[in-house]
Structure 1
């Protein structure tokens, strides 16, 4: 379980997260939604320990983000972090040297499922292929917590569909927690169990997706438009 207690994060005069408190349950797929600059990416970076709060407390299974928690977190950042001169196999060898939960069988299975080849050179493949390669490396671990920061951003519709298929294909319901930040609400609505809408660094709305849809008689896209009706998304 993830707990945020009055967490504030500032960058100079900019407040990215403003005394945010929420509890994120285990074993579900959770969407962290909001416009650019709302604090979504900052939240994921703090969970993995790349940023620390100015105030407040973050607990993952009762522990503050540290090397202990990093061992069971797989983090896919929005930036293209892969070394361009590497092949996919070299990138995989690099990642698995750091994590004991690397699963070679899963890696080989996902390689085929994503229609990738180990010999592909990162700088020579398309943006969509690189997105799938990043997903391959993230899901080839048996990580308890997976953080996906805008995994669908800027890629074609077919690749988006394949990424969604991969998330569903690999997800261990009840045993694994996945947090996804994205603007592509329509693509992910069908796989989300819970949702957290962040607005100006604070939780604007959160809850079970099916319950929210029933209560408001609206889709997630319509609910999001209502939550951010006075903002540009």
Structure 2
């Protein structure tokens, strides 16, 4: 049995993904440390969702090597990853409580006490039908489902998409408060750069399926002399 120890949660080497004639990822090389919150930034079509789906094990790369927690991914890795997709996968006829109990049934690592705590933090009523929730409330419920699992890797694809500032603020506070420093790695794809950047340890800028920039948030702000939001404007001008 391997006893290899690595400080990296994720290692990608030459990862490419093609859909017929279209290249979604054109050769990704990355090393992401354990215990960090990583911002995954880029315009629509830059490859963010494709990269997260590959890391979640939902799709396979066309070529390249992937290592998660020091090992090549296999079926067991899915049990160590919480993935929140951009699409809404909730059942409208369920209540909030029924939704969480339904999701809990799929995972041995589910933390019911954390789910209950997050329900209060997110200001959701467990008796409400999902169909009656606003888009912001549904986004909060999806995040509860992801953060209630005790896993080393959390992948969040556009958790703020189309929701109001109040809900965005609640979600950001919950991500930061529930983050297990040193134990958990969170990769968060977002267009809400100005509100999200205070929580990022490292930042990846993708462009046309490749890494445009990758560094710590502090180093990027220091190098460019401006905020991450302003760096975005310069990178994608």
TM-score range for the pair, normalised by the shorter chain length: over 0.9
Q: Is contact 1:63–1:69 with CA below 8 Å preserved after alignment?
A: no
Q: Report the aligned-residue RMSD.
A: 1.0
Shift of 1:228: 1.2
Are 2:221 and 1:213 equivalent residues in the alignment?
Answer: yes
Task: Identify the residue that residue 204 of structure 2 maps to in structure 1.
Answer: 196
Task: Identify the residue that residue 10 of structure 2 maps to in structure 1.
Answer: 2
Greater mean alpha carbon deviation, residues 170-179 or residues 85-94: 85-94
Task: Identify the residue that residue 77 of structure 2 maps to in structure 1.
Answer: 69
Are 2:52 and 1:83 equivalent residues in the alignment?
Answer: no
Consecutive unaligned residues of structure 1, counting only runs of 5 or more, are none
Q: Is contact 1:88–1:119 with CA below 8 Å preserved after alignment?
A: yes
Shift of 1:63: 2.5
Greater mean alpha carbon deviation, residues 62-71 or residues 213-222: 62-71
Supply the distance in 2 between the matched residues of 1:121 and 1:140 (Cα, whole angstroms). 20
Task: Identify the residue that residue 121 of structure 1 maps to in structure 2.
Answer: 129
Shift of 1:118: 1.7
* Residues 192-221 of structure 1: CA deviation (Å, up to 9, x unaligned): 000000000000010000111112211101
The runs of at least 4 consecutive aligned structure 1 residues that moved more than 4 Å come to none
Task: Identify the residue that residue 41 of structure 2 maps to in structure 1.
Answer: 33
Number of equivalent positions:
229
Shift of 1:173: 1.2
Supply the distance in 1 between the matched residues of 2:74 and 2:48 (Cα, whole angstroms). 20
Are 2:25 and 1:17 equivalent residues in the alignment?
Answer: yes
Supply the distance in 2 between the matched residues of 1:149 and 1:65 (Cα, whole angstroms). 20
Supply the distance in 2 between the matched residues of 1:131 and 1:47 (Cα, whole angstroms). 21
Q: TM-score, normalised by structure 2?
A: 0.94
Spell out the pairing of 1:143-182 with structure 2 (5 A cutoff).
143-182=151-190
SS state at 2:214 partner: strand
Shift of 1:43: 0.4
SS state at 1:71 partner: helix
